[in-house]
Chain A
Amino acid sequence: KAGVTQTPRYLIKTRGQQVTLSCSPISGHRSVSWYQQTPGQGLQFLFEYFSETQRNKGNFPGRFSGRQFSNSRSEMNVSTLELGDSALYLCASSFGQEGAGELFFGEGSRLTVL
């Protein structure tokens, strides 16, 4: 069974640009969550999508947005990039319908903003 796939794995952008990251969940999983990981702030929750609807949202500015497609694949977008957006962005999937289920994480997309 294929795991969670994130693309691209690495990318470099400059300030002011925008970026789109993609996540393909494990087959059958309907929930996709996004996390930002930085050395200073650790792992922080961005948002969660379930059946194409945003179900939860973290405390990030509106420059961070996401969506989910009917096949459960998800994308997140960051507009007007800032230096502080440099981070590892992790996507996680789960069935999303039972509380005991763990999240399965992808390898992450490492974003560097210059």
Chain B
Amino acid sequence: EIVLTQSPGTLSLSPGERATLSCRASQSVSSSYLAWYQQKPGQAPRLLIYGASSRATGIPDRFSGSGSGTDFTLTISRLEPEDFAVYYCQQYGSSPAITFGQGTRLEIK
């Protein structure tokens, strides 16, 4: 099973700042089958990024994903108030064993 480790656990930033979230895999994620999700309190997760760097439908271009192999990054270029939430990475390359990271909480400073 591929273990995903996200860092930091909590990130405190102000609106307008740039956010960089990390996701490290215990072994290489094949074909960049890596996704990022956003979850707000009381809501289901929302897909942001798939294939490591492709934005899902309707996702603003301030969200971008990068990386390959074992190291992946989600960047939010300029934080908006609605971006403060929990973010999860997920690998779906080692089918059928799909795994999520433990999450990064992005909070308002």
* A in complex with B: no
